[in-house]
Amino acid sequence: MEVIFSQVAGVAGCTLNQLNAWSLRGLLKTKLLPTTAGVARKFTRKNALELAFLAAISDAGMPLELAPQLVRRWLREAGKGILKPFFVYYPVSGNSIYLDDTNLNRLAVLFYDNQDDVSGEWIDENASPDNSLPAELNPASRFNVIALCNIVTSIDKLFMEKD
């Protein structure tokens, strides 16, 4: 079972230029299906998951050097059905954690390590019309959450539609 790049890109939120750049940098580790000039590239489920995971890592602002190891782990765990639903990355320190839920208080304790003045609330960047964040939001208080469960579900839906 295969889907074409435009379908995967629609779910993953990446471009053909990104795919080519990541491929040239050696970040894509799953074997891609052979393609012919002028024919849309086809992807297996594993290819599609790898691309979607890589796009999520890039969107979270994580160093792409970390991508192959993370993606390999996520593919293996998704294949076994043991992938945690959320991966949270804190760009200030580079720390990350896997969670079964996205409880802000738990994240604050994990990342801020007992600082007394920690408080906050979830802010959805898509909630404001211009996608801006409030000026008083300190970038050091931003967590990037990758909803791994949503990525797997979205990719799997693509393949179910083809059946």
Whole-prediction pTM: 0.78
Integer Cα distance of 53 and 67 in angstroms? 8
> Minimal CA–CA distance to 94: which of 143, 133, 50?
143
What are the residue ranges in the chain where pLDDT is below 70? Answer: 1, 102-141, 162-163
Q: What does the domain layout of the chain look like in residue ranges?
A: 3-162
pLDDT of residue 137: 53
C-alpha to C-alpha distances, 13 to 18, 21, 54, 59, 123, nearest whole angstrom: 10, 15, 10, 9, 21
Q: Which residues pair with 90 in a beta bridge?
A: 95
C-alpha to C-alpha distances, 74 to 27, 32, 111, 138, nearest whole angstrom: 14, 18, 22, 30
